[in-house]
Amino acid sequence: MADDEEQIEEENELEELELQKRRLEIERLKEEKRRSEREDKRRDDAEKKSSEGKRRKEKPNFTEKLTDWNKEFSGIIKTKGFFGTLFWLIGQFFGLLFSIPRYISELFSRFGFVGFIGFLILVGFLLYFFLGSAWAGSLARVTVVPLYQGIIDPALEAVLPGFKENLVKGFRVVLDPESAREEFDPSAAKEVNTGSKGVIFESVSKNRDVYFVGDIVEVSVRAKVYGLNDVSTNVRFSCDDIDSVRPEVSISGVGGDSVVVPADIVKSFFITCRYEGLKFNNPTARTEIKKMKFKALYSDFVTLAELDAYTLSSSSLDDLEARNIDVFADISDSNLNKRDRTVRPRFSEGPIKLDIDLPAPHPLTESAPYQFFVKVINQEFAWKGDVVRVSSLALRIPEGFSLGDNCEFDSDGKIKTVVLDRMNKEFVDIKRLNEEFGLLSIEQKEAASRKRDVKVACSLLVNSVQDQVKKDVIQSELVYDYEFTKLTTFEINKPVI
């Protein structure tokens, strides 16, 4: 009996050992299965990454494309110059144009016909909402614009430095090739257009469409400077102070605020005025319009005038006239009108016509003083600027002549101080009338059109004559500042918070 119990106990232990063995085998098999699954998953992940890498190499994503395009365009701008950049952009444009059907096909295959039509309707609605709605534009000014200026713009510059500047240059090359060429090569020049003179301000651009208090404001203008026929031209550029803030003035491709244009050519320059710390002066308004002027100054410009003065003794003149003999028969002078015996003055090139007006017939004699005028005439229809200050006006009288008592010049030929002050005041009035011309009545416009010159009166005495016609030269010199301006505006917005 005891033996049977021992045998049964041994059988039970064997069964227990067999069960444990089976459990261990099952666990081993499960572990092998899990290991196999992990290996399969690791292999699948590796294959997936490898295929993604291959696809990335074969077809880069949008960011990579944009980065490559920016690097390529930066290199082209630096190495190829104007024409290389222009040809590259034309190639890119046609490449994009030919790719449009493929993009449309991909969009259609991905979303189907209904999805494609819905996408077009959504795009059209967004364009109408943001471009055709006035209140949406106001909403964008206080939401989208600050978001772009505060987050998107700095992030774009950090990821793709120089991308925005290159993009602007690219658009300028395509839309305004002449302007872009002159910006790429500031020394580019061409022959003077005889219909234009001085400085002409053209297109104005800003670094932002919307400004808020505290923003840096940069306003630029393209200035075309026409050189004089015979001498080089020095022009200094500036801008108005705003809210007692003096702007920083820069010229693209040139150091300082002045340029020199050689004779007989025309050059274009891009002038930028940079303001920091502008104030919002109207506490009740949401926006404030700031006015500013671009200025180009000819400083201490000199204009010269000459008048040929013929003299003869009164007795000799009476004798020739009595015998009906032409006094100027043997004299050739393109400025002499032999019919009425008047002489036309000569003056140097510039915005001011300096006219020595002596209406008496020649030759002059010792018999009486001769009244004459020195006229300072602004040639604004050709030069489109204003005299802002006259520094000096002088006469040079040849030997044998003297100035009379009734004269606004000193005996040494310099203009009297009180007359110079009056002249500058008159030019200030003329400048104001020019600026307000569009607001004047018809009568005021007629009066303003007549008030275009300033006269200085004097009389001339002939102290020494001969029995034969003698020619002398009366000279005058004007030194003045002449200014060209262009008015523009920009808008400052009150902060949203």
Please give the pLDDT value at position 135: 47
pLDDT in tens, 325-367: 888 888 888 888 888 899 999 999 888 899 999 999 999 998 7
- Tell me the backbone φ, ψ of residue 452, rounded to 5 degrees: -120, -5
**Contact by Cβ (8 Å): 393, 477:** yes
Q: How far apart are CA 407 and CA 396, in angstroms?
A: 14
First to last CA, the chain: 101
Contacts with 114 (C-beta within 8 Å, 6 or more apart), sequence order: none
**Contact by Cβ (8 Å): 484, 295:** yes
Residue 188's Cα: distance from chain center in Å? 16
Q: Does domain 188-299+486-493 have CATH number 2.60.40?
A: yes
Please give the pLDDT value at position 193: 46
Q: How far apart are CA 274 and CA 252, in angstroms?
A: 13
Q: Indicate the domain borders of the chain.
A: 62-159, 188-299+486-493, 302-477
Q: How far apart are CA 173 and CA 176, in angstroms?
A: 6
Q: How far apart are CA 135 and CA 124, in angstroms?
A: 18
Instruction: Tell me the one-letter amino acid at 456.
Output: V
Q: How far apart are CA 199 and CA 111, in angstroms?
A: 57
Cα separations (Å) of 436 from 169, 378, 433, 439, 444?
37, 17, 5, 5, 10
Q: How far apart are CA 225 and CA 199, in angstroms?
A: 5
Please give the pLDDT value at position 187: 43
Please give the pLDDT value at position 137: 47
Can you read off the two tokens belonging to residue 55? 């696809």
Q: How far apart are CA 397 and CA 101, in angstroms?
A: 82
Please give the pLDDT value at position 164: 54
Which is it for strands 265-275 and 190-191: parallel, antiparallel or unpaired? antiparallel
484 has which bridge partners? 296
**Contact by Cβ (8 Å): 482, 301:** yes
- Phi-psi domain of 340 (left: phi exceeds 0; alpha: psi -120 through 50; beta: other): alpha
Please give the pLDDT value at position 450: 46
**Contact by Cβ (8 Å): 372, 357:** yes
Q: Kindly give the confidence (pLDDT) of every residue in the chain, 497 residues in length, as a single tens digit, with 9 standing for 90 and above.
A: 555 666 666 666 767 777 777 777 777 777 777 787 788 777 777 776 666 555 555 555 555 555 666 666 666 666 666 666 667 777 777 777 777 677 677 766 766 666 667 667 766 666 555 545 444 544 554 455 555 555 555 555 555 555 555 555 555 544 455 455 544 444 444 444 455 788 989 888 888 877 888 888 899 999 998 888 878 888 999 998 888 888 999 888 787 888 888 888 888 889 999 998 888 787 777 888 888 899 999 989 999 999 999 999 999 988 888 888 888 888 888 888 888 899 999 999 888 899 999 999 999 998 778 999 999 988 877 788 888 899 999 999 999 999 988 899 998 889 999 999 998 888 888 777 766 655 555 555 455 554 567 889 999 999 988 989 999 999 999 999 999 989 888 888 876 55
Please give the pLDDT value at position 452: 63
